[in-house]
Amino acid sequence: MAGAAQVLSDDSRVSKLDRALLQLETFFALLSGLAVFALMVLAVISVAGRNFFNAPLPGYVDWIEQAMPLIAFLGIAYVQRNGGHIRMDILVGALKGRALYLVEWITTFAILILMALLVWGTWAHFLRSFDFAAPMWSRDSSMDIALPLWPAKLLAPVAFGVLCLRLVLQLWAYGVAFLRNDPQPVAVPLVVDAATQAAMEAEHVSSRED
Amino acid sequence: MEPIDIGLAVTGGLLVLVVLGMRVAFAAGLAGLVGLIWIFWSKKNYGGGDFLWALTVATKTAGQVPHSKVSSQALSLIPTFILIGYLAYYAGLTKALFEAAKRWIAWVPGGLAVATVFATAGFAAVSGASVATSAVFARIAIPEMLKIGYDKRFAAGVVAAGGTLASLIPPSAILVIYAIIVEQDVGKLLLAGFIPGAFSALIYGLLIVTLALSLKNFGPPVSGFTWRERFAALPPALPIVFVVVTIIFFVYNPFGGDAWGTPTEGGAIGAFVVFLMALWRGMRWSEFKDALLETAKLSVMIFTIIWGVLIYVRFLGFADLPGAFADWITSLTMSPMLILVCILLAYAVLGMFMDAIGMLLLTLPVVYPAVMALNGGEFVSAEESTFGMSGPMCAIWFGILVVKMAEFCLITPPIGLNCFVVAGVRDDLSVQDVFKGVTPFFIADAITIALLVAFPWIVLWLPSQV
């Protein structure tokens, strides 16, 4: 589940960096949340305009398509920080200590390889539509009202870049935990079993019911 | 190696990564990227200087996927539905719904439990979150049921099972995801979920009434509400009905004529109403911010799996693994219906170890074409098909079945999360207690699924009206 995670912190340098990066990640995630809200407002204006004022919102679909990368990419590092990306934890849930940190290090490193390559791949995708010489620096544009596409395309390498920073930090933290055989590793999401996870989920939702 | 062998090797590698605990989205993306590199390189006979070329081409191919695949209007439904869910907590809907359900239906035998099922189902549908719904209703409904003498295990079972009704009744993010992965009409799938979802709730209700009539010492009915009290309880619960109805009307107008708009707009209007309701109930900025962050978190998580899996799908296309799997499935001598049942059972097993969204996205690219082939192909007519339904209808039917299967797993041991969460909220209940209490619903679900398999028209009637 996305809601449940636990990241410990202390006075070490890696933990300080973790919290510093978290601020940027939280800001990005909040932008992504605001984009969802904007999407909603846009649709309400569009429906109201069409039905009550006989004035459909021009380029409605174009705006949605431009907002989607904002929603889809920006929070990616925030979710990784909190251990929110889905995984199967039947094996890692059974591991402890060094064995656990080793496996976590390997899978995190695998993610870093992928994301580093994708920063390159998505950057190339962005470059194909970006041109300083062209009007609005744009070589391609959306169907209806001709919005330039490059800003939305740029979001992918930017967000993936932040994720790469996060992954390097997690590799560092897992490395430290492995060397020290630390029972309470900092700056990485802890593996929780189904019961704890459920309890945290319950805690989270009930706090807002009252 | 032939492309198909590369496909098998990479898919094997993907499974290893997933079992090792690598985040599913990235495991799929990496498998897809490595597969693409491998396939391109093999075309050049693995020449030493060609690796860099293969790497470049594969990376650029994969690099197009995230932006081009997420920039779609249909996908915008997902964050909107999620936003509805998180705002719903602040709109005071849970207690209002329970109160309304209690006043209207608690007079039947086993009434309070029936009321709980319908209230839970209603809130689950709108919030889209099975586990969270069970957690909330464990606090609201279980104490009331215990007060009038219900068995605590049964009371816990009711709440745990009620939460599973989240993902069929619109708005359903998981059905949107399914529709996008298999490239079918989102609106029709949303519509198709309504009757099976309501049907499941009805079966739960009937089960409780039957138990109440046949068992002694069951909680008594609750009656004595005046009509004035009943109607007074309705307005605060209305937004729930409004959200469900709006989304349906924006897909399909039952009074004839055009639908009112697109599903995206329907979802947004629903979110807007819940937002106003939450504001009216005094939602503060910090709470709103929390809802936005949670929405972003869940949306990003889902989108990451979507593009990750789509990179893998891009590779699968080159390797033609789905085609080979479909050929193999159709060459089996078992009856197609038996194969379909086996596939569904496999999902039940898989769902015990993995989150529904991850499980569906990871398996559908290979399993879905096979199921379509089993029915006679994507464009088969109803007359010539194996299951007696056209290709698109089969896609809808199968979608509803797998989503129902995935929900089913939330109340099955060993890691039925809904049961864990209810036990987590109540100190006086162990997980074993909840699993025991949920057993009747487990059986009811098995019956529901059997009925949906045996009588596909329960699923297909509504979408075929469009």
User: Of A57, A118, A140, which to mutate for an interface test with B (greatest number of B Cβ within 10 Å)?
Assistant: A118
Averaged over B268-278, what is the pLDDT?
Answer: 90
- Which residues 408-427 on chain B approach chain A with CB closer than 8 angstroms? 415, 417, 420-421, 423-425
Closest Cβ–Cβ partner in B294, B304, B358 for A76: B304
Token digits of residue B178: 């399914």
Residues of A in contact with B424 (CB under 8 A): 195, 198-199, 201-202
Averaged over B233-258, what is the pLDDT?
Answer: 82
Residues of A in contact with B17 (CB under 8 A): 107, 110
Closest Cβ–Cβ partner in B67, B73, B423 for A156: B67
Per DSSP, the residues of B186-220 read: HHHHHHHHHHHHHHHHHHHHHHHHHHHHHSSSPPP
pLDDT at B127: 80
| Interchain proximity B30–A111, CB inside 8 Å | yes
pLDDT at A49: 86
Residues of B in contact with A36 (CB under 8 A): 79-80, 82-83, 292, 295-296, 299
Confidence of residue A208 (pLDDT cuts 50, 70, 90): low
Averaged over B108-133, what is the pLDDT?
Answer: 88
pLDDT at B393: 93
Give how far Cα A54 sits from Cα of A44, A59, B264, B266, Å: 14, 15, 20, 18
Residues of B in contact with A76 (CB under 8 A): 300, 304
Closest Cβ–Cβ partner in B67, B89, B136 for A69: B67
CB contacts < 8 A, A to B, total 271
pLDDT at A9: 84
Measured between CA atoms, the residue of chain A closest to residue B421 is A198
| Interchain proximity A69–B70, CB inside 8 Å | yes
pLDDT at A50: 82
pLDDT at A159: 96
Question: Are B164 and B408 a contacting pair, CB within 8 Å?
Answer: yes
Residues of A in contact with B355 (CB under 8 A): 1, 86
Averaged over B428-440, what is the pLDDT?
Answer: 90
Q: Assign residue B86 a region: left if phi > 0, alpha if psi is -120 to 50, beta otherwise?
A: alpha
- Which residues 141-170 on chain B approach chain A with CB closer than 8 angstroms? none
Residues of B in contact with A153 (CB under 8 A): 67
d(CA B290, CA B288): 5
Picking from B87, B102, B104, B109, the residue whose alpha carbon sits closest to that of residue B141 is B102
First to last CA, chain A: 23
E strands, B174-246, where?
Answer: none
**Comparing B103 with A51, which gets the higher pLDDT?**
B103
Residues of B in contact with A202 (CB under 8 A): 135, 138, 421, 424-425
Token digits of residue B217: 């010492």
Q: Assign residue B388 a region: left if phi > 0, alpha if psi is -120 to 50, beta otherwise?
A: left
User: Is pLDDT of B81 > 50?
Assistant: yes
Confidence of residue A194 (pLDDT cuts 50, 70, 90): low
On the 0-12 / 13-18 / 19+ scale of CB atoms within 10 A, A196 is middle
Give how far Cα A22 sits from Cα of A14, A25, A30, B204, B292, Å: 12, 5, 12, 44, 17
Averaged over B42-66, what is the pLDDT?
Answer: 91
pLDDT at B236: 83
| Interchain proximity B135–A74, CB inside 8 Å | no
Tell me phi and psi for residue A7, to 5 degrees: -125, 125
Residues of A in contact with B22 (CB under 8 A): 87, 107, 110-111
Q: What percent of chain B has pLDDT over 90?
A: 44
- The distance of B29 to chain A (nearest Cα, Å) reads 7
Confidence of residue A111 (pLDDT cuts 50, 70, 90): very high
The pTM of the full predicted model, rounded to 2 decimals, is 0.88
Closest Cβ–Cβ partner in A29, A124, A194 for B63: A124
d(CA B164, CA B396): 20
User: Is pLDDT of B174 > 50?
Assistant: yes
| Interchain proximity A87–B24, CB inside 8 Å | yes
- The distance of B74 to chain A (nearest Cα, Å) reads 9
d(CA B14, CA B184): 26
The mean of the pLDDT values for chain B is 89
Per DSSP, the residues of A111-143 read: HHHHHHHHHHHHHHHHHTTB-TTSGGGBS-B-T
Token digits of residue B291: 């809802």
B432 inside 8 A of chain A by CB? no
| Number of Cβ atoms within 10 Å of the Cβ of B338 | 10
pLDDT tens, residue by residue, A62-103? 888 889 999 999 999 999 998 888 888 778 888 888 999 999
pLDDT at A154: 93
Residues 6+ apart with CB under 8 A from B450: none
Confidence of residue B34 (pLDDT cuts 50, 70, 90): very high
The mean of the pLDDT values for chain A is 86
| Interchain proximity B62–A118, CB inside 8 Å | yes
List the single range of A157-161, A164-168, B163-167 with lowest mean pLDDT.
B163-167
Question: Are A202 and B421 a contacting pair, CB within 8 Å?
Answer: yes
Q: What percent of chain B has pLDDT over 70?
A: 100
Closest Cβ–Cβ partner in A36, A42, A113 for B292: A36
Q: Characterize B158-189 residue by residue with b for buried, 16 or more Cβ atoms within 10 angstroms of its Cβ, and e for exposed.
A: bbbbbbbbbbbbbbbbbbbbbbbbbebbbbbb
Closest Cβ–Cβ partner in A39, A79, A122 for B76: A39
Question: Are A29 and B300 a contacting pair, CB within 8 Å?
Answer: yes
Closest Cβ–Cβ partner in A122, A124, A208 for B90: A208
First to last CA, chain B: 47
B73 inside 8 A of chain A by CB? yes
- Which residues 80-139 on chain B approach chain A with CB closer than 8 angstroms? 80, 82-83, 89-90, 94-95, 131-132, 135-136, 138-139
| Interchain proximity A72–B26, CB inside 8 Å | no
| Interchain proximity B425–A202, CB inside 8 Å | yes
List the single range of A5-9, B97-101, B401-405 with lowest mean pLDDT.
A5-9
Confidence of residue A20 (pLDDT cuts 50, 70, 90): very high
**Comparing A55 with A114, which gets the higher pLDDT?**
A114
Confidence of residue A1 (pLDDT cuts 50, 70, 90): very low
User: Is pLDDT of B29 > 50?
Assistant: yes
Confidence of residue A4 (pLDDT cuts 50, 70, 90): very low
Residues β-bridged to residue A174: none
pLDDT at A2: 36
pLDDT at B403: 92
